[in-house]
Amino acid sequence: DIDHLNLRVQKELVEWLNWLKADIGFDGWRFDFAKGYSADVAKIYIDRSEPSFAVAEIWTSLAYGGDGKPNLNQDQHRQELVNWVDKVGGKGPATTFDFTTKGILNVAVEGELWRLRGTDGKAPGMIGWWPAKAVTFVDNHDTGSTQHMWPFPSDRVMQGYAYILTHPGTPCIFYDHFFDWGLKEEINRLVSVRTRHGIHSESKLQIIEADADLYLAEIDGKVIVKLGPRYDVGNLIPAGFKVAAHGNDYAVW
């Protein structure tokens, strides 16, 4: 174990980070198992190395009901992510992985898309509260891949990408999905839609519909995304929008 409260440890880690930055060329940090040490310590490392970007892995359990499924309200879970960023410095480069969105998406794409509209009408994950500081993802090396600890439903992975690549937050693409699963072209189409229309971490999200078999949302008035098997949604799509990407149970206009 590393004693992060030890001043010598802090000094040597800061020196190492600055070496990585100045000599090797890295300009961003990922804080693994960030709940294992205080946000105050992470703040020291960030303040003294001044990365352009930093993201923390704060993986805690969602709140579950008696049916074994996540509660609709996950405010306590996303509040923990927000609190970490607040303590480290909300005006700095610190962000956190949006585990709240990941956990809700996991279940929502299995015929419960109503979960993607929170009780306040906004996105139910961290992106609904502080999207500029939320790094969204479908799976990572822990949740998916060989560890398979909390995997996204494998036949619905592209629905997950259709969501995070059109929504606020900073989306993160999993290496395995991009290079090993044969999804590179499909994911790239969604990336190009995001880039072409200037969708960014603080883009405005308007949720049009969130039902069991349909989630429909408009982003910045430029992009509309549909998740779910419901096919006939033409009456909900404003004139002038054309399909830019589509796949199994998702479409983007």
Considering the domain boundaries, does residue 174 fall inside one?
A: yes
Considering the domain boundaries, does residue 91 fall inside one?
A: yes
In this prediction, residue 252 carries a pLDDT of 98
For residue 116, pLDDT over 90 is answered with yes
Active-site residue identified among 27, 57, 176, 202: 57
Q: Is 198 within 8 Å of 189 (Cβ atoms)?
A: no
Residue 171: which pLDDT band, with cuts at 50, 70 and 90? very high
Classify 113 as helix, strand or coil.
helix
In this prediction, residue 74 carries a pLDDT of 97
What is the domain extent for residue 105?
58-203
Question: Does the active-site annotation cover 57?
Answer: yes
Considering the domain boundaries, does residue 220 fall inside one?
A: no
Reported as a single tens digit per residue, the pLDDT across 17-36 is 999 999 999 999 999 999 99
In this prediction, residue 1 carries a pLDDT of 79
CB neighbour class for 253 (10 Å; exposed up to 12, middle 13-18, buried from 19): buried
| Residues of the chain above pLDDT 70, percent | 100
The CATH number of residue 78's host domain is 3.20.20.80
Active-site residue identified among 3, 15, 32, 50: 32
Q: List, in sequence order, every residue forming a beta bridge with 224; answer none if it has no partner.
A: 218
Considering the domain boundaries, does residue 135 fall inside one?
A: yes
For residue 53, pLDDT over 90 is answered with yes
Classify 189 as helix, strand or coil.
helix
Identity of the amino acid at 77: H
Considering the domain boundaries, does residue 185 fall inside one?
A: yes
What residue spans of the chain are helical by DSSP H? 7-19, 39-49, 75-89, 99-108, 157-164, 175, 184-196
Considering the domain boundaries, does residue 120 fall inside one?
A: yes
Q: Is 4 within 8 Å of 39 (Cβ atoms)?
A: no
What residue spans of 36-119 are helical by DSSP H? 39-49, 75-89, 99-108
For residue 5, pLDDT over 90 is answered with yes
Q: Taking residues 81-109, what's their average pLDDT?
A: 98
In this prediction, residue 146 carries a pLDDT of 86
In this prediction, residue 234 carries a pLDDT of 87
Considering the domain boundaries, does residue 210 fall inside one?
A: no
In this prediction, residue 45 carries a pLDDT of 98
Reported as a single tens digit per residue, the pLDDT across 172-186 is 999 999 999 999 999
pTM comes to: 0.97
Number of domains in the chain: 1
Reported as a single tens digit per residue, the pLDDT across 206-238 is 999 999 999 999 999 999 999 999 999 989 999
